[in-house]
Amino acid sequence: MTDRRPYIGGNWKMNTNRETAATLTRDVVEAIGDRASRVDVAVFPPFPYLLTVGAVLRERNSPITLGAQDLWLNPDGAFTGEVSAEMLEDCGVRPVLAGHSERRQVIGEADELVNLKVRRTLEAGLDCVLCVGETLEQRDAGETDKVNERQVRAGLAEVTPAQMPRVVIAYEPVWAIGTGKTATPDDAQDAHAKIRSVLTDLYGQHLADATRIIYGGSMKPGNAAELIAQPDIDGGLIGGASLKGADFGQIVAAAAG
């Protein structure tokens, strides 16, 4: 076992509206109760609802952290449609996702851009959740570890040891996202252990041991405990099940032990 503090993130993706974002936040706060004292919990609403969600969290005095799903590299200027780290910070955001598979696969973000976003996030003083994971094709071709290693090394290029305590790695096998298919605890543990060994190579044992590596891909109340019980699985990044306060609360409860 480890003394890494569990981390559970709710990635709301492009879901909710002004009203349901507020309701869901209240439900999440209620469902989690005082468990946030044992688990780092973050929610990642769509940009337009950051202030709404942040206001509810503040009003409830909640330790849940407000996160963002993406950012752009410049502080301000002529970048139509983009949002900067400074703007996010101004809205009360701490962690920012980078390299989510939907941005890699749907929007076409490559490792180099993901790395620039990771570095920008950290340079701006924010925390980063770097997402990696193989597609079904890559898995079938036996390339899972190779893909994860490439995405971790590329994503963390030029990230300094001093910045690493603000980094969480999310292993999200693309074939498990939104499909109801989950990696078996053994397969997920194996991938996490390999990712940790890449971190050891990059940053040494101490930092690798201290870095949270969380699992994402159809994590639900029914499978969370078994996944999180694995020695190298330090929590989860939850999509679908984070849109129901009670389900998300149960996953946090599983992480709280």
Among 11, 25, 62, 189, binds ligand 13P (CB under 6 A): 11
**Residue 95 interacting with ligand 13P (CB under 6 A):** no
* 8 A C-beta contact, residue 174 and residue 135: yes
**Residue 24 interacting with ligand 13P (CB under 6 A):** no
The pairing of strands 65-66 and 40-44 is: parallel
Spot the catalytic one: 143, 172, 206, 226: 172
| Residue whose beta carbon is closest to ligand 13P | 239
Angle at 84 between CA 79 and CA 85, to 5 degrees: 160
Minimum distance from residue 98 beta carbon to ligand 13P (Å): 12
**Residue 109 interacting with ligand 13P (CB under 6 A):** no
**Residue 237 interacting with ligand 13P (CB under 6 A):** yes
**Residue 183 interacting with ligand 13P (CB under 6 A):** no
**Residue 128 interacting with ligand 13P (CB under 6 A):** no
* 8 A C-beta contact, residue 117 and residue 70: yes
Q: Which stretch binds ligand 13P (CB under 6 A): 79-87, 152-160, 224-232, 235-243?
A: 235-243
Which own/partner contact pairs does 136-139 have at CB distance under 8 Å and 24+ positions apart?
136/174, 136/175, 139/173, 139/175
Q: Which residues pair with 41 in a beta bridge?
A: 8
Residue closer to ligand 13P by CB (options 179, 205) is: 179
Torsion of CA 145, 241, 120, 144, to 10 degrees: 10
Q: Which residues contact 30 (CB under 8 A, 6 or more apart)?
A: 245, 249
The pairing of strands 167-171 and 7-11 is: unpaired
Spot the catalytic one: 100, 102, 109, 134: 100
158 is catalytic: no
* 8 A C-beta contact, residue 130 and residue 104: no
**Residue 218 interacting with ligand 13P (CB under 6 A):** yes
Residue with tokens 């990771």: 118
**Residue 178 interacting with ligand 13P (CB under 6 A):** yes
Residue closer to ligand 13P by CB (options 167, 241) is: 241
Residue closer to ligand 13P by CB (options 11, 62) is: 11
**Residue 217 interacting with ligand 13P (CB under 6 A):** yes
172 is catalytic: yes
Active site residues: 100, 172
